[in-house]
Amino acid sequence: MELIDLSDLNVNEKVKEVLRSRGIVTLNPVQSEAVRKGLLEGKRLLLTSPTGSGKTLIAELGMISHLLKGGRRAIYTTPLRALTSEKYHEFKAWESLGIKVGMTSGEYDTDDAWLRNYQLIVTTYEKLDSLWRHGPSWLFETDYFVLDEFHYINDGERGPVVESVAVKAKRRNLLVLSATISNHSEIAKWLEAEAVTTNWRPVPLREGVLVPDRGGFVVSFADGSSYKLRGNDAILAFTRKVVDEGGQVLLFRNSRRMAETTARKVAELDLEVKRKEIEDLIAKLEEVDDAGSNEKEALRELLERGVAFHHAGLSRGLREVIEDGFRKRIIKVITATPTLAAGVNLPARAVIIGDIYRFNRKILGFQEEISIMEYKQMSGRAGRPGYDSEGEAVIVVRNRRDAERVFKRYILSPPEPIQSRLGNEPAFYSFLLGLISEGESTVEQIRELARQTLLSRELVDRYLDSGIPWLEENGFIELDEKLFLTKLGRRVADLYINPFTAQVVKDVLRKNEAVECNLAYLHLLAWSPDGPFVGVSKGEEDELIENVSCPPFLDEPEDEDDFYKYVSALKIASILNDWIEEIEEDVILGRYGIGSGDLRSLVETMDWLTYSAYNVAQVLGLEEHADVLRRLNARVEDGVKEDLLEIVRVPGVGRKRGRVLFQNGLTKPEDLVMNPEKVKALLGDKIGDKVVKEAARVIGGVL
C-alpha cells in the first residue's frame, strides 16, 4: 500500500506544522487509506483497525479539515472518562490554529451552554446522550461527529447508549472508529458510511499459547514458531524472559484479588530497576490524596521492585501514577483486570492473558469464557511503537488439548458480530423517552426514528407498542395526536435516569411516610435499576441484614437474584451512611473490603441518584421526602455531617479540613475570610492562603 507523504497531504500548512511537531512526516497505511477514501472531503467512514494503528490521528485530520473548511463544530466521543481526558489533552495542540478545544463528562442535569464557544468538544457517549435530551442549540448546530471505540456497542451495559448516540449522530457528518468488526459491511450500511478495514499494526503481533511441557513450558505461536521456557510457574517464566530482554509486560487476571496476588509473586523475581526513578515515582505515590493508606503501602512495596497492580478499585490518582510510571518504562510489569485493556493507551512489549474465564454467579459453576473481542482488546496492547520490533500476546492454558481449543476460538477466529443491545425493556424505554424528549412527534414519527436502530423492525414495533402505553400509564408522557413529555417525564429525561428507576422511586415514596433514616433512602436508590453493584460475601449477608440502623423501605425478597441485589444495595447504603457520618476513609475501606476507587465511584453514582430522587419527589409534590433527599444529597457529595455543609462549599475544604476548621469556630465561608491567619495556622500557609481566597470567591468578595 502506497503511503502518503505529509508534504503531499491536501491540508492547511499549519496542520502540517502540528503533525511535524509530533515527528509525523508520513501517514501510515491505515491513515493513508482513510485519506484516499475521502476523509479530508468529509466522506462518511467506518474505519476498523487494530489497537495502536493510528486511528486517533485520522479523527483529528477529519475534524480539523472539516472545521477549517467552515464547519460549525466537531464532537469526539469515547466510552470512558479516562479516554476523554486523554484525548482532550492530545487535541489541545490544535488551539494553535485558533480552534478552541473543550471537554465535558458527568453532570447530566445541564445543557452545558458554555460549550457554544468551542469548536472541538471531547465527551463520553453517556454525556452526549444526556445533552441531546436537553436540546441545546449549540449541539444541534454541531455538524461533525466522531464515534470512537464503537465496538462498545456490543457491551451489555454501555451498548444501548452507544447505539442511541449513533442513531442521532448519523444524521450529520460522521466518522466511526473501532477495533475489528467482523460484520463491518452490515454496520457500514446501517451507518450509511463506507467501510475502511485493515489489519495493519505499527508493531507486528505474534499470538500464541503458553502450555506446560516436560520440565517447563512451551510458547507456541500461530505462525508455527515456538520456544521453551524453564521454571515452575508459566507466568513468572515468561515475564522473566521478556523483562530480561528489555521489555515490559501487561499481565491480565480475571479478578482484583488475582491481579494483586500475581503482582506480589512477580515482585519476588527481583527485577532490575533504576533506583532513583523508582524513588521519584514513590514520592508521587505519597502525594496522592484520594487513596487509602493500605493501598499506598501495598503499591509502595511493589513499586520498589518495578511492579504494580491496576484495577478499578484503585483511586484515579493511584492509577495515574502507575500509568505514568509504565509509560516512562520505570515500572516493568503491571498486573491488571481487563478494564485496563479498554481504557487508556498503555502498550507493552508482551501481554499475558492469565485467564480466559471470569466469574458470573448466574452461571452454574460461576464461570464463563471471555468474548473474542475482549481477548482482542487485551492482546492488542502488545508491541510498543518505537521500542519493539514485534509484540507477543500469549494465553496461559492448562494442557495441549486446551491449547488447540483456545487457538481456534481466540487466535484464529474473528470477534463476535456487532448486535443491538436495545432489546430489553429498560434499555428501549429509556431510549424511547430520549427520542420523545427531542420534541413533539407523532407515534409514527417516533416509530420511524426507532427503526433507525440495529433492532429488527419486528422488535422495534413490539417494544414501541408496549413502551408508549407504559410511559403514558405511569405519567412520563401524554398522547394527544402527538407525544410529549409530562413534567415528570421531562425531569426524568433531563436527569438521565432510567424511567424504571423513577417508577421505583415514585411507587416506594408514595407508599411510605418520610423518615429521618438516611439508610432507607440510600438502600432504595442502590436497589433501583440505575443503582451500582458491589460483591457481598456469604458471611457479610447476615451481618448486613442484622445490623441495619433502621428498617429499609423495601421488604427482603425471596427470589435468589433479587436477594443478592437487595444485600448488595444494603452494603452500598451502609458504606454511604458511614461516609456521610464522617467515618475515616481507611476504616470504611477495611470494614467493607473495597478500594478507594470503589468508594469514589459509589459516591459519584449515589450523588447522582440522591439528586435525581430529590427532583422526582419535588415534581410529585412529595415535599417531606424531597426535604430529606435534598439534605442527604448535599451530604453525599462531600461525605459530611449536616453541620459542615456550609464550610465545605469552599473549594479545597473537604471533610477532614472542614471538621478541623469547624472545631476551631470557623463554620462558614465568611469566617475564613475574616480570620485568614487562623486558617493558615490550622491548614498551613500555602493551603490556608488558597482556601481563604476560594472562600472570598464563594461569598462574592475579592482579596
Q: What are the C-alpha distances in Å from 259 to residues 195, 264, 307, 501?
A: 38, 9, 11, 34
In angstroms, the CA 487 to CA 505 distance is 16
List CB contacts of 536: < 8 A, sequence separation 6 or more: 544, 564, 567, 568, 571
3-state SS string over 552-592?
A: CCCCCCCCHHHHHHHHHHHHHHHHHHHHHCCCCHHHHHHHH
Residue pair 192/46 in contact (Cβ under 8 Å)? The answer is no
End-to-end CA distance of the chain: 63
Which helix (H) or strand (E) element contains residue 472? helix 457-473
In angstroms, the CA 670 to CA 130 distance is 36
Grid coordinates given for 26: 508520513
DSSP character at residue 106: S
Residues placed in the known binding site for ATP: 31
CB neighbour class for 397 (10 Å; exposed up to 12, middle 13-18, buried from 19): buried
Residues placed in the known binding site: 31
List CB contacts of 594: < 8 A, sequence separation 6 or more: 313, 534, 575, 588, 602
Q: What is the 3-state composition of the chain as percent helix, strand, coil, each rounded to the nearest 5?
A: 55, 15, 35
CB neighbour class for 224 (10 Å; exposed up to 12, middle 13-18, buried from 19): exposed
Strands 216-221 and 205-213: antiparallel
Q: Which amino acid is at 523?
A: H
Give the distance, in angstroms, between the CA of residue 683 and the centroid of all CA atoms in the same chain.
34
Largest interatomic CA distance in the chain? 78
Strands 101-104 and 120-124: parallel
Residue pair 433/471 in contact (Cβ under 8 Å)? The answer is yes
Q: What are the C-alpha distances in Å from 307 to residues 245, 336, 344?
A: 16, 11, 18
Strand order in the sheet with 144-147: 101-104, 120-124, 74-78, 144-147, 173-178, 45-48, 194-197
**CB-based burial, 31-42: b 16+ in 10 Å, e otherwise:** bbbbbeeebbeb
Residue pair 585/654 in contact (Cβ under 8 Å)? The answer is no
Residue pair 515/547 in contact (Cβ under 8 Å)? The answer is no
Say how many residues make up the chain. Answer: 703
Radius of gyration, CA atoms only, the chain: 27
List CB contacts of 437: < 8 A, sequence separation 6 or more: 132, 133, 135, 485, 489, 490, 493, 494
Residue pair 648/638 in contact (Cβ under 8 Å)? The answer is yes
Q: Is 231 left (phi over 0), alpha (psi -120 to 50) or beta?
A: left
Q: Where are the beta strands (DSSP E) in 153-225?
A: 173-178, 194-197, 205-213, 216-221
* Angle of helix 518-527 versus helix 623-638 axis, rounded to 10: 80
In angstroms, the CA 67 to CA 99 distance is 8
Q: Write down the residue that cell numbers 468474548 correspond to.
A: 371
In angstroms, the CA 260 to CA 311 distance is 9
